Chains A and B, each alone.
Chain A
């Protein structure tokens, strides 16, 4: 992602923790697919956060946290659900111009399952 103006202090990763993130104990069986957003050098950080807030209804802090994870780790799981649900999200993300893919939640070999619903915080 790219940044054309300085971000405000509240966009720093991990400055706030919302209740939505306290779901570490949630397990995978009933949520078999993930929506993954990939980093790219074009999309603005502010725009990615706007999309997460306006489309998924995420709080500003959650949207910024996921956005920073995409930016720093190269990808982030931003939603989970049935295959149909995440595919619908993927089309919406493509509509916004974000680089989104879907994958099985238990893929195992993707090397990065940080972030997203039910995964808790890392780093």
Chain B
């Protein structure tokens, strides 16, 4: 069983079983593959270099759209314009955090600096956002319903398995964030 993250003399530490690390690694890689910008032929290399993407569109996949939301609520045109300027670098920020977390999964015992912890919390959050879309968590009631699923022996279909995985990621992120808040408190 994984141990909750905690804050102590060594910084923020946690422990995951090999199977749990494999699970997290594959979830992280799924999210990375959703965020990887497509390589399009004929794209202006200079534009790509400075992060511009004039061919970008609002994502059709709900989970991707949750990761890369519109910046204005009722103005699709202005949101699209903003995407052209910022979406590529936002994807790269997210992929950077996800990759950093995946690298830390190579050891049983996880020891995190404040920066690494921030990357982990962002990565776990994105993993949870994607799982939540797949589980169709739309409101607090749906979230409660999924939260009730805690027993791995009940996992009999894809949905219950996903719910258990979501709850595991939630538990792990909550313990990490509590440790990060403690660490922040002690540095004040």
A residues lining the B interface (CB < 8 Å): 2, 4-5, 36, 41-44, 46-47, 49-50, 53-54, 60, 87, 90-91, 94-97, 99-103
Contact = CB atoms under 8 A, between A and B. Distances in A.
B73 A42 contact: no
Contacts of A50: 121, 177, 180-181, 184
B67 A97 contact: yes
A103 B171 contact: no
Contact of A41 (B67, B69, B138, B173): B138
B72 A101 contact: yes
Contacts of B70: 101
A4 B174 contact: yes
B2 interface: no
B90 A94 contact: yes
Contacts of A99: 66, 69
B72 A102 contact: yes
Contacts of B71: 87, 90-91, 94, 100-102
B140 A41 contact: yes
Interface stretch (B6-14, B20-28, B126-134, B155-163): B126-134
Contacts of B68: 94
Interface in B120-161: 121-122, 125-126, 128-129, 132, 137-140, 142-143, 147
Kindly state the interface size class of chain B when it binds its partner: 35 or more
Given A5-B178, A100-B69, 7 more contacts: A5-B174, A36-B73, A44-B174, A46-B177, A46-B178, A87-B86, A97-B126
Contacts of B128: 42
A49 B177 CA distance: 10
Nearest first, the 3 A-B pairs at minimum CB distance are A97-B125, A41-B143, A42-B132
Contact of B122 (A2, A4, A97): A97
State the main secondary structure of chain B at its contact with A.
helix
Nearest to B126: A97
11 contacts: A4-B174, A36-B73, A41-B137, A46-B174, A60-B185, A94-B68, A94-B71, A96-B122, A97-B122, A100-B71, A101-B69
Contacts of B67: 94, 97
B90 A103 contact: no
Nearest to A63: B181
A95 B90 contact: yes
Interface in B58-80: 66-73
Given A2-B147, A46-B178, A101 B171 contact: no
A47 B184 contact: no
A16 B126 CA distance: 32
Contacts of A95: 90, 93-94, 97, 122
